Amino acid sequence: MRDLETHGAIRTGKMISDPRVSALDLAADPPTVSIQDCIDSSGYKMVYAKSKKPVPGAAGGRYVATATATLYPDGRWLISDGAVHQDQPC
């Protein structure tokens, strides 16, 4: 974000996310949940702040994202791993 600000670029629009549990392993130590999402950033644009013109090469799209949530001893589920797979459209 700081790099974007330094170069006069900002994000506009809305990113859409629809996460779903793809696997659940309560027998694991610690228990884990795998989450898969289709991120839709086609309406989320990077533009120059002053002119509002699009930043070249900053096109959005729809792609897969995955995450793993782990149950910690204090009872909280926290994301312990995550990845964006822009080479995998959805």
Query: Into how many domains does the chain fold?
Result: 1
| Prediction pTM value | 0.73
CB-based contact 64:88 (threshold 8 Å) = yes
Residue 55 maps to a domain: yes
Domain that holds residue 79: 2-85
Distances (CA, A) of 41 to 13, 21, 50: 9, 21, 22
Residue 90 maps to a domain: no
The predicted-structure confidence for 42-86, as pLDDT tens digits, reads as follows 888 888 888 988 888 777 789 999 999 999 999 999 999 999 998
Residue 40 maps to a domain: yes
Question: Could you give the 3-state DSSP secondary structure of residue 51?
Answer: coil
